[in-house]
Amino acid sequence: MEDNRADHYNLDTNMIAQVLLKDVAATARIAIKDCIRNVQTAYGKTISNRKGFLGRRRAFEMIFGNWHTSFQSLSRYVAALQHFNAGTVVEWRLIEGKIFNFIFWTFKPCIDRFAHCRPVIFIDGTHVYGAYDIKLLIAVGMDANGSIFPLAFAIAANESNDTWGVFLTHLKTHVIKDRTGICVLSDRHKGILHNMDNLPGWQPPLVYHRYCLRHLNENLQSKFHNGTLNKLMWGAAMEHQQRKWAAKMDMIRAVSEPTYG
């Protein structure tokens, strides 16, 4: 039977958020269906998916603040990073001195430990979902145990030739420094390709650019949808001997000439 409390009011966003505060504090990714269930338990009333979404968002804002206030606090946040992590590097770029456009940062321990990591860097960009259409750019390395090691981060207004150029310039200046023979792995984003070809210090023998196999595999499967080619591609990529690699490539050609080309 529905709780009688539900008869006296319609649940507004703040009331729903109050129920969800503890859950959102534990995990901001709490599923909408779980939000609906928790509200049902608290109030004896079933809410729609939209109300569950709005309530979850309101709970998030009550705990962490909204996007606008978060950007206002960004300068204080990075100042605290630099204060408590001496040697941490932060590079800003503002439009007309006040409009946020780009921020790059790398922690001092990341800078120091890269000298002891393998000469491999992975770079990629991804969407930051929320109120603003912004991008997160990231560079990670690989330590002696084969584990991923974070190197540098950036939040940019977009993912373009310009922003990738700024990111790679700061990465070279503050992290890579004078180290040579670095292999950089990435997808085929035009901004990355452009800067790898044109940005000073990002060509052999200082840096060797290669493509991330996972991205190549995704492109292959989206175009050809062939399980055999998928296995052969991974097999060729894992070969350490030229002869065995060539044999795998011949097998790929036998299955699909366009894929080989």
* pLDDT on residue 67: 77
CA distances from 67 to 20, 56, 71 (A): 19, 15, 6
Residue 30 CA to residue 10 CA, distance in Å, equals: 23
Task: Give me the residues of the chain with pLDDT under 50, please.
Answer: 1-9
pLDDT digits (tens, 9 = 90+) for 195-206: 999 999 999 999
* pLDDT on residue 95: 83
- pTM of the model as a whole: 0.75
Question: How many other C-beta atoms can be found within 10 angstroms of the C-beta atom of residue 98?
Answer: 6
Ordered by start, the domain boundaries in the chain are 4-65, 70-211, 216-260
* pLDDT on residue 113: 95
Mean pLDDT of the chain: 89
* pLDDT on residue 1: 39
* pLDDT on residue 4: 41
pLDDT digits (tens, 9 = 90+) for 114-140: 999 999 999 999 988 777 778 999 999
- Answer left, alpha or beta for residue 65, where phi above 0 means left and psi between -120 and 50 means alpha: left
